[in-house]
Amino acid sequence: MPSAKDILRKFTELKTLPHVAIKVTQLVNDDRSTMHDFEEIIKLDPVLVTRLLRLVNSPFFGLSQKVGTISKAVVFTGMTQLRNLVAVESLREMFKGDDVDFSAQKLWLHSATVAILSGMIAKRIFGKDSEDIFLAGIIHDIGLIVENQVVGEQLRVACKAFREEQGTLIECERNAIGADHAEVGYLLVKDWGLPLEVLSAIKAHHLSRQIKSVSSPGSILQLAEFMAGKMQYWAIPGPLEKLPLELAAHVKERMADYKIIIRDLPGEMAKAKELYESDE
């Protein structure tokens, strides 16, 4: 059976983020970067410019006056939000195509839901900045896209086994493929220059034994995935994986707060639709 590294070597559609996304990520990580630097990069991509202006003028930002220039849009979005927008725009084409056993479009909606829930949990429950955990949510299942292209038949075997409750998704993948999407996704994005917390969250979002704290990015992703599954925003239909004991106890303790998050989710998704929805 192929290893996660073997699968990545065969993956040809997107080994790295496009040039604009890589450059924006580098600028975010450089303390000397200015908003002018971002503007110079963004203006080279007309599609991205359109998306940026649509986003900054959407209910997501709730500005009283319309923004019509790239420079002002960059200022309003901020560096990390801009990085997320560029990453989402760059990845959008990957999440297309459906068949009976695997729907890339449903995976995209699941990822968007997990991203928004992760951001809400980070901010409302733990008082953390939400931009990095939002990005982790958007790309946490990207390994499934890689597996679909490289070992699609084996992935469908894993999906079938998962639906039939023959194990967790990770266990079914390892049995059918020899690797799992968390490991594949981690290896794919490791060279993108993303924050370490984003990488660790992708790698650990199915590993309950590796919980460092209930407020860690990996834990937040697990909480968001569980909530998304409860609301049937599935990545792959199948049994809902139980929360680790520490997270289950935390949710019980903060149940009132989590009920408010669930109540507010549709409104937050509507506000953020310019960031994650396709133009199609």
For 11-55, the DSSP string reads --S-SS--HHHHHHHHHHT-TT--HHHHHHHHTT-HHHHHHHHHH
167: left (phi over 0), alpha (psi -120 to 50) or beta: left
- pLDDT value of residue 266: 93
In the chain, where the domains are located:
4-13+94-276
pTM recorded for the entire structure: 0.82
Specify whether the CB–CB gap between 85 and 275 falls below 8 A.
yes
Over residues 87-119, the pLDDT tens digits come to 887 777 777 766 656 788 888 889 999 999 999
Specify whether the CB–CB gap between 170 and 161 falls below 8 A.
no
Pick the CATH number of 4-13+94-276 from 3.30.450.20, 1.10.260.40, 3.40.50.720, 1.10.3210.10: 1.10.3210.10
- pLDDT value of residue 191: 74
Three-class DSSP category at 168: coil
- pLDDT value of residue 149: 85
Q: What is the distance between the alpha carbons of residues 184 and 173, in angstroms, rounded to a whole number?
A: 11
Low-confidence residues in the chain, pLDDT < 70: 12-18, 97-101, 208-212, 278-280
Instruction: Please state the separation of Cα 257 from the chain's center in Å.
Output: 23
